[in-house]
Amino acid sequence: MYMGHYAIALGARRWLRPLPMAWLLFASIEPDLHDVLGSMIPGLGIGPDTHTLPGACVAAIAIAVITALVFHRAGLALGAGLLVLSHIAADYLTSRLPLWRHGPMVGLHLYATPWADFLLEAGTIAIGLTMYASSPDLRRPVRGGVAVIAVVMLTLQAIWNFGLGGG
């Protein structure tokens, strides 16, 4: 659900404007990045816990603390931590993941039904980009580019869900 995670980060920008967009995007996919880095450099990994509730809570707290130290604002730190947690919430819709290590598997597993997953992602993209476009500090030309961003995101999501062969 990368496009959905990115859409959530874009939407969150409305309230977290002082944070750089890259910071918001990073926080929204931190569990996946932690997974990748952990497989490349085992010392950085937390094993199978990156997509569990305890693992996500640890990551959210770490990102919130780092955000507080760098930006000196508790509200921004809370927002960055919530973005990390949003990743897990979204993944429980699209996947089936354990709540904790060796815990029960939960989730709707919409990946198994590509059209359902696409509709969820498209709705998330629409909401996130609408919130992003209504951010009061965006200039008019940037708002015009939101439609282009939407097309790119929906196209990438369609490729993810349906492949290049259309099925």
> Of 24, 2, 20, 23, which is closest to residue 11 (Cα–Cα)?
24
Question: What is the overall mean pLDDT for the chain?
Answer: 89
Sign of CA dihedral 27, 28, 32, 36: negative
pLDDT band at 45 (very low <50, low <70, confident <90, very high): low
Please state, in angstroms and as integers, the Cα–Cα distance from residue 134 to each residue in 11, 44, 140, following that order. 9, 38, 10
What percentage of the chain carries pLDDT values higher than 70? 92
Predicted structure pTM score: 0.88
Domain residue spans of the chain: 2-162
Confidence at residue 141, expressed as pLDDT on a 0 to 100 scale: 66
CA angle, residues 24, 50, 164, in degrees to nearest 5: 70
How confident is the model over 73-103, as pLDDT tens digits? 999 999 999 999 999 999 999 999 999 988 9
In this predicted structure, the answer to whether residue 167 has a pLDDT above a threshold of 80 is: no
Using CA atoms, how far apart are residues 31 and 45, in angstroms rounded to an integer?
A: 10
Confidence at residue 38, expressed as pLDDT on a 0 to 100 scale: 74
Name 118's Cβ contacts closer than 8 Å, sequence gap at least 6: 157, 158, 161, 162
